[in-house]
């Protein structure tokens, strides 16, 4: 079995596949699976050759024995099916449906929300600070998906209301994790079993922590904070978040914490 | 065994599940919710569905939420006729398509739906502070309402984006049907992606946007004609479930909208 992945170290959607690969016993990049690095800062994900394998122009793209698969959440379910041990999905149809409903919530709410501070605080100023309005609009036009995300920001990133809404959405996610652990007794989101939803949400929380937003949970969500500690103690975490994989390490010249930015822009 | 569906006649996500139930030939009990009276935001309903949206399936007392999850659940507990491919690779392709359907056309369809029907119906004449407090109560999608002007609707850029997304969806269906050999999106077998895209395309047709595909995408147009010929279509779209029938006052312009 040969597994390859077109990915970027700091991409949260690449990270969630790496966490799952590690959980399935394939932790080591370029040994257990082969990396094809896609340099997002050079927009390699929008090159014609890449769009042939991934028409959405995003990472990751997963290649199993030469067959191409896209969409990270679909890739997680595929890994579960081709490598059934250890099991990362519940055994009953209702349990699987509950896990998948969680996965839809993660896709719709925090996955989208995390992009807002990521772009506002780092990527937009890094990539577009010197771009004219026309150049910025032309970039949005190249994107097969998510043009409207770019159209809601400027070269400097997002405004106050978008950032506050993103914080609300991450806070809601953390509250739901807290409530799920209390309700099911933990230690994982679905209860005793670590599942795909734990793997899926890990990079989003880690990104928010990396950007300086741990205040959203660490003061008053003790169960969720303890869950994150347990997540980070799993060997899959160190495998997926290898040195250089956090956005603060990848782009240190552009890294500023939320606190610095709040002092500067007033929100 | 009892299957209850909390749904709304004209909600596209409810329609996805009704098509699936019809394809499976399953008996179910209807629990219809009325958004105008806030049925979807009562504490009782939020216990079943913390997102405050329809549909919710309750199977022998167990709630299942998220329309894409419900249709996959129905396929697991009622395996015949199969609407999910049996081999993992084809299932992964189906799921990638479903993720695209959820991310792109599902939110896109809401923009013209709200601009043309739901905004003037529910919000245009509502006092601004009542509108704001309604939006505050929504567990999901507050930002969608905030981008929509209560009086003016969505800005033109947002509408043209949404229409471009529907056109992209139609183009991808067109290419998939010709690439797979048809007659369905993944090839010979009708699957959950045909089920879940149907209400989105039907809504756009109902709002007067069939021109987005009829001129340029013959394979997709033929696919939609086949979809409408399946018995599940008329069962799911029973009288009054198209917004043009339910709210005809907003369709004076018809095709000219």
Which parts of chain B are beta strand (E)? Answer: 3-7, 29-32, 56-59, 62-65
User: What's the domain range around A198?
Assistant: 93-235
What sections of A91-219 are H helices per DSSP? 93-108, 110-118, 124-128, 133-142, 147-151, 160-184, 196-210
Asked if A96 is an interface residue toward chain B (Cβ–Cβ < 8 A), one would say yes
Tokens of A66: 């030469």
Nearest to B110 by CA among B134, B71, B144: B144
Cβ contacts of B191 within 8 Å, gap of 6 or more: B83, B84, B85, B94, B184, B185
In this prediction, residue A266 has a pLDDT band, given cuts at 50, 70 and 90, of confident
Yes or no, beta carbons of B146 and A70 under 8 Å apart: no
Cα angle value A240/A245/A246 (rounded, 5°)? 115
Q: What tens digit of pLDDT does each residue of B71-97 get?
A: 999 999 999 999 999 999 999 999 999
At A154 the pLDDT is 86
* Best mutation target, A69, A99, A148, A152, to test chain B (most B CBs within 10 A): A148
- Res B255: pLDDT: 47
Query: pLDDT for A150-178, tens place per residue?
Result: 888 888 888 899 999 999 999 999 999 99
Residues of B in contact with A111 (CB under 8 A): none
Residue B239, pLDDT score: 96
Tokens in use for A77? 């379910």
- Given CB atoms, is A233 within the 8 Å cutoff of chain B? no
| B119 DSSP assignment | I
Measured between beta carbons, the chain B residues lying within 8 angstroms of A137 are none
User: Pick from A207, A148, A210: which is nearest to A173 by CA?
Assistant: A207
Tens of pLDDT along A51-107?
999 999 999 999 999 999 999 999 999 999 999 999 999 999 999 999 999 999 999
Nearest CB among B69, B157, B161 relative to A101 is that of B69
- The CA–CA distances, whole Å, from A174 to A2, A60, A229, B4, B154 equal 36, 25, 14, 31, 31
Give residue-wise pLDDT tens across range B139-184.
Answer: 999 989 999 989 999 999 999 999 999 999 999 999 999 999 999 9
How many domains are there within chain A?
A: 1
Across residues B22-27, what is the average pLDDT?
97
- Looking at CA atoms only, how far is residue A215 from chain B in angstroms? 22
Let me know if residue A4 belongs to a domain: no
DSSP, residue by residue, A62-127: EEETTEEEE-HHHHHHHHHHHS-SS--S-SSHHHHHHHHHHHHHHHHTHHHHHHHHHIIIIIHHHH
Break chain B into its structural domains and give their ranges: 88-231
Name the minimum distance, in Å, from the CA of B99 to any CA of chain A.
7
B51: contact with A, CB 8 A cutoff: yes
CATH number, domain containing residue A180: 1.20.1050.10
pLDDT at position A148 is 87
Q: Across residues B228-250, what is the average pLDDT?
A: 96
Residues of B in contact with A55 (CB under 8 A): 172
Q: What is the pLDDT of residue B257?
A: 42
pLDDT (0 to 100) of residue B252: 63
Chain B, residues 79-108, CB within 8 A of chain A, namely 88-89, 91-93, 95-96, 98-100, 102-104
ipTM of the complex in this document: 0.95
Q: Is residue A113 part of a domain?
A: yes
Interchain proximity A75–B92, CB inside 8 Å:
yes
For residue B18, give Cα distances in angstroms to B40, B207, B232, B233: 18, 21, 8, 9
Q: Please indicate, yes or no, if residue A249 is contained in any of the structural domains.
A: no
- Average pLDDT taken over every residue of chain B: 95
Give the list of residues 6+ apart from residue A135 with CB closer than 8 angstroms, or none: A128
Nearest CB partner across the interface for A69, out of B92, B98, B142: B92
Cβ atoms B221, B211 nearer than 8 A: no
For residue B145, the SS3 value is helix
Tell which residue, B147, B168, B173, B199, has the closest CA to residue A147: B168
d(CA A99, CA B69): 9
Label residue A259 by pLDDT band (50, 70, 90). Answer: confident
Q: What is the mean pLDDT of residues B39-43?
A: 94
Give A105's contacts in chain B (Cβ within 8 Å).
51, 66
What are φ and ψ of residue B63, in 5° steps?
-75, 140
pLDDT the model gives residue A152: 87
Tokens of B24: 């499976």
Interchain proximity B69–A69, CB inside 8 Å? no
Mean pLDDT, chain A, rounded, equals 96
Assign A191 to helix, strand or coil: strand
Distances (CA, A) of A98 to A21, A187, A193, B42, B57: 22, 17, 13, 21, 12
Integer Cα distance of B5 and B57 in angstroms: 5
Q: Give the C-alpha separation, B130 to A205, whole Å.
A: 34
Total Cβ atoms within 10 A of residue A234: 17
So what CATH class is B88-231? mainly alpha
A70 found inside a domain: no
Q: Which residues of B touch A17 (CB under 8 A)?
A: none
**Would you put residue B60 in left (φ > 0), alpha (ψ -120 to 50) or beta?**
left
Distance CA A125, CA A71 (A): 27
Of A77, A96, A145, the CB nearest to B95: A77
Phi-psi region of A93 (alpha: psi -120 to 50; beta: other; left: phi over 0): alpha
Percent of chain A with pLDDT over 90: 89
Q: What pLDDT, on a 0 to 100 scale, did the predictor assign at position B256?
A: 46
Between CA A145 and CA B211 the distance in angstroms is 22
pLDDT, one tens digit per residue, over A1-24 is: 999 999 999 999 999 999 999 999
């Amino acid at each position: 079995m040969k597994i390859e992945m077109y990915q970027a170290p700091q991409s949260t959607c690449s990270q969630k596949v790496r966490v799952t690969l590690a959980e399935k016993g394939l932790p080591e990049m370029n040994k257990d699976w082969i990396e094809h690095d896609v340099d997002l800062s050079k927009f390699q994900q929008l090159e014609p050759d890449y769009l042939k394998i991934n028409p959405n122009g995003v990472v990751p793209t997963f290649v199993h024995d030469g067959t191409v698969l896209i969409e990270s959440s679909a890739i997680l379910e595929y890994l579960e099916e081709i490598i059934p041990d250890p099991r990362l999905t519940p055994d009953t149809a209702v349990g699987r449906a509950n896990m998948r409903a969680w996965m839809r919530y993660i896709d719709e709410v925090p996955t989208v929300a995390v992009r807002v501070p990521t772009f506002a605080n780092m990527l937009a100023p890094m990539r577009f600070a010197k771009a004219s309005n026309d150049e910025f609009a032309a970039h949005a036009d190249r994107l097969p998906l998510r043009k409207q995300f770019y159209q809601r920001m400027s070269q400097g990133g997002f405004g106050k209301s978008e950032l506050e809404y993103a914080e609300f959405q991450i806070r809601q996610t953390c509250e739901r994790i807290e409530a799920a652990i209390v309700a099911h007794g933990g230690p994982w989101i679905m209860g005793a079993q670590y599942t795909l939803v734990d793997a899926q949400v890990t990079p989003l929380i880690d990104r928010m922590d990396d950007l300086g937003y741990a205040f959203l949970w660490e003061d008053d969500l003790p169960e969720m904070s303890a869950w994150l500690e347990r997540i980070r103690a799993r060997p899959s975490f160190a495998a997926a978040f290898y040195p250089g994989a956090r956005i603060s390490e990848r782009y240190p010249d552009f890294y500023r914490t939320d606190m610095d930015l709040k002092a500067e822009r007033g929100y | 065994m009892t299957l209850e569906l909390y749904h709304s006649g004209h909600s596209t996500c409810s329609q996805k599940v009704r098509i699936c139930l019809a394809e499976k030939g399953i008996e179910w009990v209807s629990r219809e919710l009325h958004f105008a009276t806030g049925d979807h935001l009562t504490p009782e309903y939020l216990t079943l569905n913390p997102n405050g949206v329809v549909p919710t399936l309750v199977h022998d007392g167990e709630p299942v939420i998220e329309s894409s999850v419900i249709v996959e659940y129905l396929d697991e507990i009622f395996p015949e006729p199969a609407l999910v491919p049996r081999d993992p690779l084809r299932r992964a392709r189906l799921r990638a398509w479903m993720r695209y359907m959820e991310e792109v056309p599902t939110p896109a369809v809401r923009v013209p739906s709200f601009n043309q029907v739901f905004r003037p119906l529910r919000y245009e004449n509502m006092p601004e502070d009542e509108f704001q407090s309604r939006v505050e109560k929504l567990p999901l999608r507050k930002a969608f309402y905030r981008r929509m002007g209560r009086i003016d609707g969505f800005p033109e850029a947002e509408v043209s984006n949404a229409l471009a997304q529907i056109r992209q969806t139609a183009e991808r269906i067109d290419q998939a049907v010709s690439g797979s050999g048809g007659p369905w999106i993944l090839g010979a077998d009708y699957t959950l992606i045909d089920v879940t895209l149907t209400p989105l395309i039907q809504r756009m047709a109902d709002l007067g946007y069939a021109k987005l595909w009829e001129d340029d995408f013959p394979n997709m147009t033929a696919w939609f004609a086949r979809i409408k010929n399946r018995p599940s279509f008329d069962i799911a779209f029973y009288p009054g479930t198209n917004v043009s029938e339910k709210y005809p006052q907003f369709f004076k312009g018809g095709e000219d909208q």
